Structure 1
Amino acid sequence: MKLINIGFGNMVASSRLIAIVSPESAPVKRTIQEARDRGMVIDGTYGRRTRAVLIMDSDHVVLSALQPETVAARFAGDSEEGGSEDE
């Protein structure tokens, strides 16, 4: 099982990841709120602004302070991308 760093030492299992999306659109905001109401949101932002929303196959919604491109690059295996973004 490969783990992806989503910032601040938080990890998610790459095999459970369905989508990485930006949080700006109304449907994504609605998805976050519905998951929050069900208790299925995992907030990995450490109080910072949410920049990426990870949709998991277990219906969990994971919030990250990293850009979606950074998380996607880490998913693809590019360990050089965004080294200082989670400081």
Structure 2
Amino acid sequence: MGFSHTWVNHSKNFVDPTTGAPTNGIEGCWEAKLKSLKAMRGTITAEQVASIVSEYLCRSWFFSPGASVEQLFKGLITAITRHKP
């Protein structure tokens, strides 16, 4: 999906001083998603977990919560344009 991985040394910073990558928001989102995945334990496969995480990332990158139909359509077009083969 073309994402980049960054890390932050929490003993020094909570935001990467070079890239500005924060950790609190990312960790909060991951914690919520992990909780829902744990609730499905035993009912989904590893491939389904990968698919669920990919869908979650796509939705969070391109579709704002409470978006209008027009905004959703624009998000869909943007996602397709950026990730077409």
Asked if TM exceeds 0.5, the reply is: no
TM-score (structure 1 length as normaliser): 0.33
The higher relative CO (CA closer than 8 Å, separation ≥ 6) is in 1
Larger Rg: 2
- Greater helix share, structure number: 2
TM-score (structure 2 length as normaliser): 0.34
- Greater strand share, structure number: 1
